[in-house]
Structure 1
Amino acid sequence: MSGRGPGADGLSAEGGKRMARLFVSYRREDSAGFAGRLTDALERTYGEGSVFRDVDDIRPGEDFAQIIQRGLDEVAAVLVVIGPGWLDAGDAGGRRLERADDFVRREIEGALAVGKPLLPILVGGARMPAAEHLPPSIRPLAARQALVLGDASWKSDLAALEAALQPVLAGGGDEAASTSVPPRGRPPARRAWLLAALGVVLAASLAALVPGWRAEPAMADDIAGTWGGSVEYPWGARHDERFELAVRDGAIVGSASFLGLPRTIESGELRGGRLHFTTRSNEVLGDSPPREVLHRYVGEPGRDEIRFVLESRNGYSANPPTHFVLHRR
């Protein structure tokens, strides 16, 4: 199920018809109801025709495989809807995923072949399939961060999905980071950090001399805006991350991506010349249920850069802190 990338106004050049931007892959007997509900919700957000789904968008007599492949070539993102029966769906001949002509398998293979963003969507209480349970050609799907859509939490789950899609549909998913991460332990540029240290001393002096004076307004100007860079995580994965930061009434707000997906900033504050905030994500491991992970960030602003230390807790995996640098975009 496919989508075509829109122009700046989201319309095609052919008669002004809105092009689909999202491709919904699903098994009809496994999650057709969820796929239909998801399609309707996304079209309310992005406009009629912005989501391609085979039931609605392939006319009788058309070459199913050809239409699917053409959509994959032009799609902005592929949403793989996975229900409880997705992995083991089959008949007397065995699992469908083991067949080279299985359309769900071909859709995922096609998306991987052209490097399109893949977002697994777990519905109906499904769990993320482990890599060893997938055919080799689609095992990279198991490494993708899954999102959960539940009946009871549909509204908030849908909002999280739309936040994850925002940079992809805006074109941010194709941007290459121009900044590399310096080796751990490498000291910061002397001049930048000397200026930062002097700023902290000056702020403390003014705070003592002028009642009610705070350093946050000056710091807010330093950190507000868009920051980006390539982040290498302790388990070897590397992602281009993008932070959108703002300061409102002394609190840090905005979003900070993790594994390429934007997360809402919580409990953000400026303290001691540093940024402190948290975000959340869901970690899925094999057949285990999703587990919420809390990410704690501490950032030290420099000249057009922020050096971060990230610690993640409560997940299935225990990893050392992640050190990285983001630069102003």
Structure 2
Amino acid sequence: MSDSRTRLDKINARIRNNPVLSLLIAVSTVVIGLSTFTSATRNLMELFSSAEQRPAINGLWQAQVSYDWPNADYQESFNFAGSDKQLYGSASFTRSVNGILEGEVVADTVHFIIKTPESSGSEPIREAIHRYQGKIVGDEIKFVMQTEGSYSAHVPIEFTAKRSSNPAVQPAPTPN
């Protein structure tokens, strides 16, 4: 007479009849489960802990900017605020304070735009767009600013903004 049990049935019968083997399989299953859970938890924690922190750029910054037209040296102010990647605040252009648009901080770079009105004689007023991109290095931001949409072509302007050591200093008011 042949044994009608399958190979799987035979293995199950041996495990049930051998308590040491049953205990070994149960303990192994628990160890593998804990190891997998611990490894997954560690990987998840590393993911959150290795996320880059936003540089501490909130506050007032000052820069001496030489624009690309004659006698165009201005002390400009940048007042940054925000959290995570978000950046808002104000930036002066020829001492006129403007709101920051489309601002973002990613790792050690910052970029934003400001818009200013520009006129030329009897021509209608145009909106010039100034795009700023900066690299944060300690208490300095090395900027490149490019202008588009104005009446004349402009080359990119490079300058360095430094954190203001005097928190009472405010951006210059708009001249009348």
| Matching of residue 302 in structure 1 with residue 137 in structure 2 | yes
Of 33, 51, 59, the residue aligned with 1:225 is: 59
2:118 aligned residue: 283
The amino acid across from 2:58 in the alignment is: A
For 1:107-164, what per-residue CA distance to the aligned partner results, in whole angstroms no more than 9, with x for missing partners? xxxxxxxxxxxxxxxxxxxxxxxxxxxxxxxxxxxxxxxxxxxxxxxxxxxxxxxxxx
Higher RCO, 1 vs 2 (CA within 8 Å, ≥6 residues apart): 2
The amino acid across from 2:159 in the alignment is: F
Q: Distance in 2 between matches of 1:216 and 1:282?
A: 36
Q: TM-score scaled to structure 1, two decimals?
A: 0.35
Count of residue pairs the alignment pairs up: 120
The amino acid across from 1:254 in the alignment is: G
Q: Distance in 1 between matches of 2:130 and 2:99?
A: 11
1:212, distance to aligned residue in structure 2 (A): 3.6
The amino acid across from 1:269 in the alignment is: E
Per residue, is there more helix in 1 or in 2? 1
Structure 1 unaligned regions, length at least 5: 1-207
Supply the RMSD in Å over aligned alpha carbons: 2.0
Residues 53, 107 of structure 2: 8 Å contact kept: no
For 1:248-295, what per-residue CA distance to the aligned partner results, in whole angstroms no more than 9, with x for missing partners? 342011001001111100111112520011110011011101000111
Structure 2 unaligned regions, length at least 5: 1-43, 165-176
Q: Distance in 2 between matches of 1:328 and 1:272?
A: 18
1:209, distance to aligned residue in structure 2 (A): 7.5
| Matching of residue 259 in structure 1 with residue 90 in structure 2 | no
Larger Rg: 2
1:235, distance to aligned residue in structure 2 (A): 1.0
Q: Distance in 2 between matches of 1:212 and 1:293?
A: 40
Residues 216, 250 of structure 1: 8 Å contact kept: no
* Percentage of matched positions with identical amino acids: 34
Q: Which runs of at least 4 in structure 1 moved beyond 6 Å after TM superposition?
A: none
2:47 aligned residue: 211
Q: TM-score scaled to structure 2, two decimals?
A: 0.63
